[in-house]
Copies of this chain bind each other. A is one copy, B any other.
Amino acid sequence: MSVVPIKKAPEPTIRRLPDYYHYLKWMQSNGREVVSCTHIARDLDLDPTQVRKDLAVTGIRGKPKVGYLVTPLIESIENFLGWNNLTDAFLVGAGSLGTALLGYQGFKQYGLNIVAAFDKDKRKIGKKIHGKEVLPLDKLPGLAERMHILIGVISVPAESAQAAADVMVEGGIRAIWNFAPVSLDLPEDMVVQNENLASSLAVLSRQLAEAVK
């Protein structure tokens, strides 16, 4: 009965939004001021109607014969994805993957700011990685609560992932970006995204097998 301000969009659409975003940023840096779905579709190898529907979920409206104004469209996507303001996050697992994630500056562009790293390995604790100190894992709940951290990144081996997730839940974290290849057992109201390099590789392998058969 209540008005729902955030209507749910299809996941495939949300997944394509960053592609549009990068494309539009590119257009913008080239001085382009307007762009139509037809062109976006051609360049990104998609269906024009699909592009139109995808962009529509962000609330933007285009003009017939012209298309969309690039800058407002970018803002609309940023706003829809919450990429216009930084959200602080904690990372657990300062191994090679964790180190790479800590060093990747690009996340800021996507509204994610990893402010601290945690590990249970005493040899790693105290070290600085890309300017961020590695803290003992048992400090996470207290700090997360105090700093109102909402997002956690898990980059530990599969066998430690559930424990890392539990600590995050304890600290009041609401969303987990999980790079470990396991499915986490979490309370209903938690949000999870499993980042699965294996999945993409699976699709690639399969398509390659079909292509060279």
B151 touches A181 (CB 8 A): no
Residues of B within 8 A of A14 (CB): 199, 202-203, 206
Interchain CA distance A161-B98 in the complex, whole Å: 24
Total interface residues on A, CB under 8 Å, equals: 66
Say whether B191 contacts A208, CB under 8 Å: yes
Interface contact B81-A196, CB-CB below 8 Å: no
Number of copies: 2
Nearest CB in chain B: distance from A75 CB, A: 15
A158 vs B21: C-alpha distance in the bound complex, in angstroms? 13
**What is the bound-complex CA distance between A204 and B195, given in angstroms?**
11
A163 within 8 A of B: no
Residues of B close to A96: CB separation below 8 A: 100, 103-104
Q: Report if A19 contacts B (CB, 8 A).
A: yes
Closest Cβ neighbor of A11 among chain B residues: B203
Residue of B nearest to A46 (CB): B183
Contacts of A43 on B, CB cut-off 8 Å? 183
Q: Is the CB of A97 within 8 A of B107?
A: no
Complex CA gap A211/B150 in Å reads: 11
